[in-house]
């Protein structure tokens, strides 16, 4: 369902809404209320975009959304995580996607309602790992495609330990994992500022500087840092109205493209199907050492569906 509005309607913030049908909201022009539009999207598991009242920008925003919506490659996706003996799942970071860790910490799930052709989702799973083990976890699951249930081939995840004893200073976080942790830290920090109504340009810049100076920030590729720095700068420019910031949060919580004013500000999480081929794996992961005194391992878990899996009729 799509909702376009150029009004304010603050009374909507008091209305309870069902999440049975996602509502993807589009704010039109400077007079729309971004908090209301994001509220509707959040409560219904939709996304929030906004555009200036220019016919070409509106056309581009709708085209971006409809193109993705008409290329749904799989639905009812369940990712299963099962750890080996003496290993525990401490947490899962999956944004707005539902996740669950069993009480014994030995297994967990990530639930995705649907995924577009060419989309890539990255999740962080934190494990508590003993000294002796190399094999850590088995990843599997299932999904629906063309009214048929398909299994995701199980894949074992292992960690490669050094042949000799290493100090924490010798261990480095993998760049892909660092990038995802940096993105999540920025996302959570901004969300906290918005929720507590303590958003200021100085506070936002201080948060970003602190994240860049962290272990994760220093391990993040420069290209990723540059892109996030540009996002922070754009947020600071419209911090009073906050449409860019709220649309950015919607985009990053779902790892799904939203239009932020114009199509040129909508590149994050656009589908990458034109790079895919039929041999692309559905699931992959990036394990990594992480600087910590505890026996924890962070890894980035990637779910990917190539565009060639989608049939248009």
Read off the pTM: 0.83
Which residues are CB-contacts of 126 (< 8 A; sequence separation ≥ 6)? 89, 90, 91, 92, 93, 296, 297, 298
- CA 145 – CA 268 distance, rounded (Å): 26
87: tokens are: 């290993």
Of 93, 67, 75, 112, which is closest to residue 257 (Cα–Cα)? 67
CA 108 to chain centre: 18
CA–CA dist 153, 139 (Å, integer): 8
> What's the pLDDT at 107?
96
Who wins on pLDDT, 253 or 261?
253
Whether the CA torsion 260, 263, 265, 271 is positive or negative: it is positive
Is the model's pLDDT at 163 over the cut of 80? no
Please give the structure tokens belonging to residue 242. 């906050």
Q: At what angle do helices 201-212 and 222-237 cross, to 10 degrees?
A: 170
Secondary structure (3-state) at 38: helix
What architecture is the 73-167+277-309 domain classified under in CATH? Answer: Sandwich (2.60)
Q: pLDDT (tens digit, 9 = 90+) per residue, 48-57?
A: 999 877 778 8
Whose tokens are 């996607």? That residue is 97
Query: Can you tell me which residue has the tokens 């003496």?
Result: 86
Identify the weakest region by mean pLDDT among 107-121, 128-142, 185-199.
Answer: 128-142
Per-domain residue ranges for the chain?
A: 73-167+277-309
pLDDT, mean of residues 211-224: 94
CB 215 within 8 A of CB 291: yes
Query: How far is 123 from 176, CA to CA, in rounded Å?
Result: 11
Count of C-beta atoms within a 10 Å radius of residue 36: 20
């Amino acid at each position: 369902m799509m909702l376009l509005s150029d009004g304010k309607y603050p009374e909507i913030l008091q209305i309870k809404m069902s999440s049975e049908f996602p509502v993807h909201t589009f704010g039109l022009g400077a007079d729309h209320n971004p908090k209301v539009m994001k509220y509707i999207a959040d409560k219904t598991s939709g996304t929030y975009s906004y555009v200036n009242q220019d016919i070409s920008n509106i056309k581009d925003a709708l085209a971006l959304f409809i193109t993705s919506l008409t290329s749904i490659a799989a639905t009812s996706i369940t990712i299963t995580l099962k750890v080996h003996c003496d290993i525990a799942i401490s947490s899962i970071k999956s944004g707005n996607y539902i996740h669950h860790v069993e009480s014994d910490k030995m297994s967990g799930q990530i639930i995705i309602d649907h995924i577009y052709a060419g989309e890539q989702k990255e999740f962080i799973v934190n494990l508590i790992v003993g000294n002796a083990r190399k094999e850590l976890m088995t990843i599997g699951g299932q999904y629906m495609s063309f009214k048929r249930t398909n299994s995701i081939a199980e894949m074992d995840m292992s960690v490669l330990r050094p042949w000799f004893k290493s100090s924490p200073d010798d261990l480095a976080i993998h760049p892909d994992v660092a990038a995802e942790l940096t993105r999540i830290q920025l996302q959570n920090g901004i969300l906290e500022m918005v929720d507590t109504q303590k958003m200021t340009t100085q506070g936002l810049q201080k948060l970003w500087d602190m994240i860049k100076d962290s272990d994760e920030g220093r391990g993040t590729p420069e290209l990723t840092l540059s892109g996030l720095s540009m996002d922070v700068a754009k947020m600071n420019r419209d911090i009073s109205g906050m449409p860019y910031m709220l649309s950015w949060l919607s985009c990053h919580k779902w790892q799904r493209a939203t239009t932020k004013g114009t199509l040129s500000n909508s590149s994050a999480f656009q589908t990458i199907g034109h790079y895919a081929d039929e041999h692309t794996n559905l699931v992959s992961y990036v394990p990594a050492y992480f600087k910590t005194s505890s026996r924890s391992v962070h890894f980035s878990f990637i779910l990917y569906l190539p565009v060639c899996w989608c049939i248009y009729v």
